[in-house]
Amino acid sequence: MIPTSFPPKDEIARLSARMLLETGAVHFNAAEPFTLASGLRSPTYVDCRKLISFPRIRATLMDFLTVTVMRDAGFEAFDNIAGGETAGIPFAALVAERMALPMTYVRKKPKGYGRNARIEGAMTEGERVLLVEDLTTDGGSKLSFVDAIRDTGATCAHTAVIFNYGIFPETGKTLGDHGVTLHHLCTWWDVLAEARSQKTFDMATLNGVEEFLHDPRGWQSTRA
């Protein structure tokens, strides 16, 4: 079934943030910051992979993501839905099912044997591909996936994620300069607002997180 009628963007953002909090996917700890894949420190961490274990929540989020993409990009804008290895694969499959489109996935690097492929599934020249991932921080990790898709002769001008950090101003430019538009459901600002409303964390923790969100690079530079 293809969803067509859903709440406005601000309500989708609030509900998506609430679902991330309800599943325990959100972690705040200013006292003992997390180390991100980049090596930088952060008082915030979100584990979108956890969402696949919650059927009602994953179904609602995928409905939200599908309708967001169709509202923003068009109802007949895509021919193929590609998931980024590994976290994007289940979400791409769920979006593809809703949009009644073929699904593929993109490896981070060639597998090193057999066909040495980066694209798994059927993707052909000229297809308009939507790249689906779980989240984005500054947008940089999406570029390799996009290039692998384009190397097949297909086009990729859109990527959709559940969660966009929303605190790095270069994200839009990084993707935009590569000819890619980002679609997302919620950001850290939405999560922080909902966490305050639900009193999910103590006030000191929330204040520490807000300090980070206002100046993440400055916060990280003092805790390298």
- 115: confidence class by pLDDT, cuts 50, 70, 90: low
Domain ranges in the chain?
9-213
pLDDT in tens, 126-148: 999 999 999 998 888 899 999 99
How many CB atoms neighbour CB 221 within 10 A?
Answer: 11
Helix boundaries (H) for the chain? 9-22, 55-73, 88-99, 142-150, 170-177, 188-198, 203-214, 216-221
Buried b / exposed e along 35-49 (16+ C-beta atoms within 10 A): eeeeebbbbbebbbe
What distance in Å separates the CA atoms of residue 192 and residue 158, rounded to the nearest whole number?
27
pLDDT in tens, 188-210: 999 999 999 999 999 999 999 99
Fold held by 9-213: Rossmann fold (3.40.50)
Interval 159-187 mean pLDDT: 95
